[in-house]
Structure 1
Amino acid sequence: MRNTNKVFHLAIPCKDLDETAEFYQKLGCKLARRYDDRVTFDFFGDQVVCHLSPHQIDEQPKMYPRHFGITFLDREEYEETLEYAIKEELPFFKKPMIRFEGKREEHLTFFLIDPSNNLLEFKYYHEAAMAY
């Protein structure tokens, strides 16, 4: 289980700092810092740093193996985030779906895509123990 005194850190490439900042702030992430070559966000309690790297953008992103996101432990928070993404017209890579239907690890999920083709997954497991 996660200790609350730790913050996960993830660094990802971005092609444009302005559009990256706009996307993540529209998603509800707080802008923590901005420099000439990166922007740092509070991404649902963790740290995501988007480094300006326009020549390292994945032009044909795939869900697997590389994506990141949030696993909600509360279904209401998952549903609120989904409704917010729809309302704000955030770009979906994969619309909401059920994965592993009928199995213990069944979960609800959807994927967004940021302006630099980084994929973000948001999911909720019906059985909380399957989150890990």
Structure 2
Amino acid sequence: MKINSISGLRYLVKDLDRTAEFYQLLGFRIGKRDESEVTCYINWFWVIFSVDPAGAAAAPDLGPALYLKVDDIDDSYNALLANGLSPASEPRKDRSGRKEFVLLDPDGNSLVFFTK
């Protein structure tokens, strides 16, 4: 398995408007936006900011996550299994059509492996 790049992060926020304005002032470009998410870019690196009106307990998969781009999602998934690791999810398509799966580190932080 080869990780190509650290492509982005995801964070929960309380106020999308305030967050978008703050990051835009820092020089981030605002990308896709809807009522629950805004994506901000610096070059190719992105940060997705999400609000969760029901509370984080209702959607634990929205917490902080590090996104790692790989060439082949199925090979990467199988390589982790072969090394004795247990991903928290199987490869599946996300809202944007990327195929991804989640692996939790020893402290419970989400590593999202994805391919386009």
How high is the TM-score relative to the length of structure 2? 0.43
TM-score with structure 1 setting the length: 0.39
